[in-house]
Structure 1
Amino acid sequence: MDFQKLLEKFSDSKSVTNDLLELKINDSYSIQVYPNSINHLNEIMFFIGREGIEKYLYLLAPKAKSATKEKFNGAIVNESDTQILKKCELSKSNRVALQSLFSFTVPQVLGINDSFGFGDRLGLANAGHIRSLNIGNFKPILAQQSIRELTRTQRSADEVMDAAVWAVFQEGYKNGFGSDADHLKTPADITVMLDAGFTMFTFDPGEHVDNNADEYDEQKLFSVVANLPWSELNDTFPAAERRYSQKEFKISNEFILNVNEQDFLRAYAKYGKAIAHIKKMFEHLKNESEGRPFEVEVSVDETESVTSTFEHFFFANELHRLKVEFVSLAPRFIGDFEKGIDYKGDLDLFKREYVKHLAITKYFGNYKISLHSGSDKFSVYKVIGSLHSAHTHVKTAGTSYLEALRVVAAEDPKLFRAIYNFCFGLYETEKMSYHVSAVLSNLKPASGYTDQELLGLFNSEDARQVLHVTFGKVLTEKTDSGYLFKNKILNCLKENEETHYKFLTNHFVKHIEPFC
C-alpha cells in the first residue's frame, strides 16, 4: 500500500475536531492518525498517531540516510524497498528535534496582543484548549505552570513544554503560542524555566509587599520608607518625594491623580521592596537569556491589599524609571477573585475602578492588564469585554483540572467518588495557600450523591474549591503499588479523549465569548 498517498489524502481531511483516521499498516497493525498533524519536510511526512491509548510521532521517510530523520530517536516499525516508517516517543529530545525543524512549535513572545493563559496540570488538555480558539482574537499561552504547581504535581518545566509542543503539532496549530513561567519568586526559578524554553516570565514579588501598609499611621509610614533599600532602587528618599508628593498626574482628560504625602509614603511602604526585588529578577533574566527573546509580567494579585489606582501608576512608573521592561501587570483588584468560581463583589464598582486602571495602561502605552485567578470569572469577563479597547491577558489553571475531573465523574463515577472523598478530607489543610471560601458542611460525602448528582457538583462553588486546591495530593499520593489516583485519572482521560476535548472546548468558549 502507498502510505504516502493515503496520508496525503488524510491531510485533505483536516478539521477543527481533528477526527482520527485509520492508517492500516498490515492485518495486525494499524495507527489512528490525527490528520491535522501531517506535515511534509525534506521528503519526510511527519504525523502524530495513536496505538491504543498512547500517542507517538511517526516519520514516513525515504530509506536513504537522512540527517533530518536521524535527529529523532525511535524504532523502524515498517519497511519497504523505498520507505521506512519510524515510530518515536513523545520525549523531550524528540520535541527539541521537532522544534528545530518546525518554527510553529517554538513558543513566541506575544507582546500586548490579547492573550489567554491555559494552565494544564495533567499534560493532556492543550489540544482541547487549542480547539476552543475558533472564536475571538486571543493568542494562547499553552505552556503555563507556576513553580508552586510544578512542586505540587511533581512535574518538571520540560514536561510542561513537551505537552504543549506535542499538542500544537497534533492539532496543526500554526498561529503562534506563548509559554508562561508563572509566579516566579527567585532568580533560581527563572533559570529553571529559561532552560526549558519558556518565553514569558511572571514575577511574583508578593513576599516583598507590605500588606499592613494600608493601616500604618504617617509616623510608621515615614519610618518604613526611610529604611527602604534606596541604593537598590537607584534612588533616594528626597528624590522620590520630589517626584510624587503633592504632584498632579493627568492620566486622561477625565482622570487626574492628585498625590498627597500619605499616598506617596503608603505606595513606597507597600511596594518599595517589591520593586527592588523585581529589578533584581529582571536583571538576572536579562543576563541569563543571552539575547533570546523574552517578556515579563509583574503580578501583585496574590496579596491581601487592593492596588489603588495611584499605586498602579506608581508601580508602572517606577519600573519604567528602572528600565524594567514588562508586557503585562496584574494588580490586586477590588472584590474577591477566589479560585475556581465567579467573581464576588460589586461589579459596578469593579468596572469604575477597572476603567481607571485601563486608563493608566493607556497613559504608558506599552503593557496590558493581566487578570489572574481568571478561571470562571464570567461576570468580570462581561465587564471587560464591554470596554472593547482593553488589552487583556487572562490567566487560568485550575479550571482545566476541574474539567478533567468532570470527565472522570462522567465516565468512571466509582473513581471520582474515591477522589472526592479523598479531597473532602484534605481540604482544611490544603486550602491554606489559596484564596477560597468553601464550607465543607455545605457538602455531603460521595455516598450521598447519585451518579448524575456527581456531575452537578461541578456547579457547586464549595465542591469546585474543595476539588481545586487538593490537586497536588490527588496527583502525587502513593501507595505501595504506585500512585493512588494519578495514573487512573490519566488513563480515563486518554480512553475518553474526545469527551475530554469536548468538555474543555465548551468550557473555554464560555470564557472567551464575552470578549468577542
Structure 2
Amino acid sequence: MLHLEKYTFGVGDRFAHQAGAQLRAFIQLADEGIDVTPVWNKSNREHNFVGSEPQSVYDAAKAATEKLGWDKAWHVDADHIQLKTVGPFLPCSDFFTIDVADSIGKAAPAEEVTGFVDRHPELVGTLKLDGLSAPLEVTRDDVQRVAEQYLLAVKEAGQIYRHIADAKGADNVAAEVSMDETDTPQTPPELLIILAALSDEKIPVQTIAPKFTGRFNKGVDYVGDLDQFKREFNDDVAVIAHAVKTYGLPDSLKLSVHSGSDKFSLYPIIRECLQRTGAGLHLKTAGTTWLEEIIGLAEAGGDGLKLAKEIYAYALEHVEEFCAPYASVIDIDQSKLPDAETVNAWDGPRLASAIRHIQDNEHFNAHMRQLLHVSFKVAAKHGSRYTDMLKANEEIVGNEVTKNIYDRHLKPLFVG
C-alpha cells in the first residue's frame, strides 16, 4: 500500500484555479513546524456538474507544487468512487475514497453472516479497550445485526479495492472506506465490527469515514450535542487503535471526517484528542474554496461583484434543483434568503460578509452560504467568463482561499 502521512487534509477545487492558493496555507503551517499533507479531492458527481475530467485535478496540483517548490507529500483523491465510476480516476489518483453507502442495509447471504459471527467470538462480551469512555457491551445478536447491515458493503469495498490495486499496483494505492453518506450514524461498537470485517476482506484501509451523530451540513458549523460528539470521536479513536493491534490493519489507519469544512465548534475537540492520543486524522473539505472565490470576486468589485450577484440571483431561482442532490447535508430556510433586488443593492464587502463564515459578523447568512455552496454549477454555465474573472482577480481571490484554509481550518485543528 501507499503509506499515508499522519495528518492529511482534503481540499476541493471545483474549477482547478486555486491549487496554488490552497497550497500556500500548508506552506504557512509547515513554516510553523507542523506538517499536514494536502489531498486534492473531487468527486465524479462534481466533475459531471462542472464538465471537468479527473486528470485536471492532478494537473493543477502538480503545477502548484512545482511552482511553489513543495517538496513534501501530496495526494489526489478519487472522491466517493464506486466500481462503475472509478475508471477515469485510475491514471491520476493515488488516494481512493471507496463509497459503499448504497450497500449499507442490504443483507449479505445468511451463511456469510453466520460465518463472520462464528469467526469473531472476541467481539462478544464486555470490551474494555484502552481510551474508551466506558466499556463496550456487545452481544452475539449485536454482531449478527451489524454484520447483516454492513457485511455486503464491506464485500463491495473489497471488490472495488482489488480492482484499483490490480490496475495500479497495491503500492500505489491509499484506500479510504466511506460509510458517512447514510441515514444512521455508526456507533463505536459498530465501527469495531466493521473494521473486523474490513480486515477479513484484506483491505489495507488507512482511513475510514463513519457517519457521526449530529448534522454535518455543507459549509457551515456542526449542529448537535458537542459532548456526545466528543465521546463518540474519542471512542472511535480508541476502537481504531484496538483494531490495528487486533486485526493487523495498517498502523496508519485513522478517522476521516467528511464535510469537515467549517465545523469550527468541533476543531478544539478533535485537536485535544489528537494531541492526547497521538492519533492521525484525515479531514475533508470541498466546496469552501468555491465560496471563497465568490467572496473574492465580491470584494474585487466591478465585473467580479456583478458576476457574483448574477450567480446568487440564478441560484435563488433554482433553489430546489440545486439543493435536491444535497438534501441530506444542508438545512436552508428559504425565508431567510434575501431576494435578488436586495442583494443587488449591496456593495462588495457587504455581499462578502454575508457569505464569509465568520459567525459573529452581524451580516453572516448561513442560508445564503449553503445555497451558494451547492450552486457551483451556475459558474460552470458561465464557462470562460467565470474562469477569466478568477484569473483577472487572482490575487484577491487567492488570498481569500489561503486565509480560509489556514486561519479558519488548519490553525484551529493543529495549532490551537
Same fold (TM over 0.5): yes
Contact 1:409–1:455 (Cα < 8 Å) also in 2: yes
1:232-253 CA-to-partner distances (Å, cap 9, x unmatched) read xxx4515524625743433226
1:17-71 CA-to-partner distances (Å, cap 9, x unmatched) read xxxxxxxxxxxxxxxxxxxxxxxxxxxxxxxxxxxxxxxxxxxxxxxxxxxxxxx
Q: Tell me, in whole angstroms, the C-alpha distance in 2 between the residues paired with 1:309 and 1:291.
A: 29
Kindly tell me: are residues 291 and 508 of structure 1, through their superposed partners in 2, closer, same or farther at Cα, counting changes over 3 Å?
closer
When you count helix as a share of all residues, which structure comes out higher?
A: 2
1:301-333 CA-to-partner distances (Å, cap 9, x unmatched) read 111101111111011111112211111001100
1:228-279 CA-to-partner distances (Å, cap 9, x unmatched) read 2367xxx451552462574343322655322124422331232122111111
Task: Pick the aligned partner of 1:422 from 299, 308, 314.
Answer: 314
Corresponding residue number in structure 2 for 1:512: 410
Higher relative contact order (CA 8 A, sep 6+): 2
Q: Tell me, in whole angstroms, the C-alpha distance in 2 between the residues paired with 1:191 and 1:274.
A: 20
In the alignment, structure 1 segments of 5+ residues that lack a partner are: 1-107, 211-223, 478-484
SS of 1:428 mapped into structure 2:
helix
Look up the equivalent residue of 1:408 and give its one-letter code.
Answer: L
Corresponding residue number in structure 1 for 2:136: 257
Q: Tell me, in whole angstroms, the C-alpha distance in 1 between the residues paired with 2:167 and 2:386.
A: 38
Corresponding residue number in structure 2 for 1:116: 9
1:447-474 CA-to-partner distances (Å, cap 9, x unmatched) read 21311421122131100111011112x1
Kindly tell me: are residues 291 and 462 of structure 1, through their superposed partners in 2, closer, same or farther at Cα, counting changes over 3 Å?
closer
Task: Please state if 1:316 is matched with 2:195.
Answer: yes
SS of 2:93 mapped into structure 1:
coil
1:172-231 CA-to-partner distances (Å, cap 9, x unmatched) read 111121111110122x42332112x21010000011012xxxxxxxxxxxxx75xx2367
SS of 2:85 mapped into structure 1:
helix
Contact 1:118–1:140 (Cα < 8 Å) also in 2: no
Contact 1:279–1:324 (Cα < 8 Å) also in 2: yes
Corresponding residue number in structure 2 for 1:240: 117
Q: Tell me, in whole angstroms, the C-alpha distance in 1 between the residues paired with 2:173 and 2:196.
A: 21
Q: Tell me, in whole angstroms, the C-alpha distance in 2 between the residues paired with 1:299 and 1:426.
A: 30
Look up the equivalent residue of 2:22 and give its one-letter code.
Answer: H
Q: Tell me, in whole angstroms, the C-alpha distance in 1 between the residues paired with 2:227 and 2:39.
A: 32
Task: Pick the aligned partner of 1:476 from 377, 380, 390.
Answer: 380
Corresponding residue number in structure 1 for 2:212: 333
Kindly tell me: are residues 239 and 176 of structure 1, through their superposed partners in 2, closer, same or farther at Cα, counting changes over 3 Å?
closer
When you count strand as a share of all residues, which structure comes out higher?
A: 1
For these two proteins, the number of residue pairs brought into alignment is 381
SS of 2:219 mapped into structure 1:
coil
Task: Pick the aligned partner of 1:401 from 290, 301, 304.
Answer: 290
> Between the two proteins, what is the percent identity of the paired residues?
29
Contact 1:180–1:201 (Cα < 8 Å) also in 2: yes
Look up the equivalent residue of 1:247 and give its one-letter code.
Answer: G
Q: Tell me, in whole angstroms, the C-alpha distance in 1 between the residues paired with 2:113 and 2:270.
A: 38
Contact 1:116–1:138 (Cα < 8 Å) also in 2: no
Contact 2:155–2:201 (Cα < 8 Å) also in 1: no
Task: Pick the aligned partner of 1:502 from 396, 399, 402.
Answer: 399
Contact 2:42–2:77 (Cα < 8 Å) also in 1: yes
Task: Pick the aligned partner of 2:370 from 459, 462, 465.
Answer: 465
Contact 2:188–2:236 (Cα < 8 Å) also in 1: yes
1:160-180 CA-to-partner distances (Å, cap 9, x unmatched) read 111111111121111121111
RMSD: 2.0
Look up the equivalent residue of 2:186 and give its one-letter code.
Answer: T
Q: Tell me, in whole angstroms, the C-alpha distance in 1 between the residues paired with 2:38 and 2:86.
A: 18
Q: Tell me, in whole angstroms, the C-alpha distance in 1 between the residues paired with 2:110 and 2:204.
A: 20
Corresponding residue number in structure 2 for 1:135: 29
Deviates more, 1:275-284 or 1:138-147: 138-147
**Pair member with larger Rg:** 1
**Normalised by the size of structure 1, how large is the TM-score?**
0.70
- The within-5 A match list for 1:145-294 is 145-186=42-83, 188-195=84-91, 197-210=92-105, 228-229=108-109, 235=112, 237-241=114-118, 243-244=120-121, 246-252=124-130, 254=132, 255-290=134-169, 292-294=171-173
